């Protein structure tokens, strides 16, 4: 963490110091973000400034791999165009990236569910290819659900019991994911953190994917969970039809991971309502809706 307040003036000073040809562009703060803070730069760029992340690892990962992945992905993703290095003015990393137009889903909505399902499935089919040997390994994301039970329990226990509702049903979904076979294919590229704040929508459907700091090579089920976390009611079966590469075990793991991600969103919403650091009040309803979709899902319709 840094004690330096990140302001528009600071961002302009950093640009003037390291990329003076960009310093004259308009700078506007982008609401949201936690590990990194975003500033819109002109109409086509953004500055991603390391804030709460204790190390530059996530930004450096995006710098290294997004230029490799972006050309073959069917949706816009932020691509690094300039690097900002630690300096006396500011001791952390920052990156100038392309701006992905649209509105983050946690402030927008999807009204064209079938279109969004096909779009997301097509994006993930393009992303989920075998990763090279030097691709980043998974860290706190990426493990089989049976190795994530501690996190699942922490989220479940931290949320008001009345807000969760049918705890037994939630645990049953998780238990089924824990019992599912492990991923046996080669490690594939995985975004890893698909939730409403990390996808962009316009015209009622998905129009971009952002925040690749947690990307890794591993089990695609971590992204397939988005069928319930991101897409509206009834769109999961369309998603899996178009994706076409998910076997029964992957879908079971994905559904359990979707339950855990939903609980995380609900917890962040609860923290926001209580004024706690990092809380996001608008994430609570998104998490509740996602958990309801998980619990109502009939897996036989996704196979």
Distance from C-alpha of 290 to C-alpha of 301, rounded to nearest angstrom: 17
pLDDT tens figures, 62-91: 999 999 999 999 999 999 999 999 999 999
Q: Where in 51-90 does DSSP place strands (E)? A: 80-84
Q: Tell me what pLDDT residue 286 has.
A: 96
pLDDT of residue 116: 98
Residue with tokens 């900002």: 84
| pLDDT 10s digits, 211-233 | 999 999 999 999 999 999 999 99
Element of type H or E holding 206 = strand 205-209
Helix (H) / strand (E) element for 61: namely helix 57-69
- pLDDT band for position 263 (cuts 50, 70, 90): very high
User: What is the model's pLDDT at position 130?
Assistant: 97
Question: Residue 172, Cβ neighbours under 10 Å: how many?
Answer: 14
pLDDT, mean of residues 273-281: 90
pLDDT value at 1 more than 50: no
Rounded mean pLDDT, 267-296? 94
Q: Which helix (H) or strand (E) holds 13?
A: helix 8-18
Is residue 193 over pLDDT 60? yes
Q: What is the pLDDT of residues 26-48, one digit of tens each?
A: 999 997 666 688 999 999 999 99
Largest CA distance in the chain: 58
Show the CA angle centred on residue 59, arms to residues 55 and 64, nearest 5°: 125
Q: Are 291 and 262 in contact (CB under 8 A)?
A: yes
Q: What is the mean pLDDT of the chain?
A: 94
Average of per-residue pLDDT across 136-155: 91
Torsion of CA 10, 16, 17, 20, to 10 degrees: 150
């Amino acid at each position: 963490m840094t004690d330096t307040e990140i302001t528009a003036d600071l961002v302009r000073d950093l640009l003037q110091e390291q990329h003076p040809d960009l310093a004259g562009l308009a700078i506007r703060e982008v609401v949201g973000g936690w590990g990194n803070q975003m500033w819109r730069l002109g109409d086509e760029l953004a500055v991603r400034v390391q804030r709460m992340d204790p190390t530059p690892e996530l930004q450096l990962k995006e710098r290294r791999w997004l230029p490799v992945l972006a050309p073959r992905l069917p949706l816009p993703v932020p691509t690094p165009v300039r690097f900002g290095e630690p300096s006396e003015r500011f001791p952390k990393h920052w990156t100038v990236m392309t701006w992905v137009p649209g509105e983050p889903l946690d402030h927008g909505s999807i009204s064209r569910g079938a279109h969004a399902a096909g779009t997301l499935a097509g994006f993930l089919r393009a992303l989920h290819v075998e990763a090279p040997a030097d691709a980043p390994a998974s860290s706190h994301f990426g493990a089989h659900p049976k190795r994530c039970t501690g996190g699942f329990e922490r989220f479940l226990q931290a949320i008001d019991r009345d807000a969760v509702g049918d705890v037994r049903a939630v645990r049953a979904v998780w238990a089924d994911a824990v019992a599912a076979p492990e991923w046996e294919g080669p490690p594939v590229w995985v975004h890893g953190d698909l939730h409403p704040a990390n996808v962009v929508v316009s015209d009622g459907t998905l129009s971009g994917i952002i925040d690749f700091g947690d990307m890794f090579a591993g089990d695609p089920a971590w992204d397939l969970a988005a069928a319930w976390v991101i897409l509206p009611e009834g769109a999961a079966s369309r998603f899996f039809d178009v994706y076409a590469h998910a076997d029964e075990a992957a879908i079971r793991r994905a559904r359990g991971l979707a339950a855990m991600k939903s609980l995380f969103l609900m917890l962040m919403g609860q923290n926001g309502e209580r004024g706690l650091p990092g809380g996001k009040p608008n994430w609570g309803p998104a998490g509740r809706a996602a958990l309801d979709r998980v619990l109502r899902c009939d897996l036989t319709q996704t196979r």
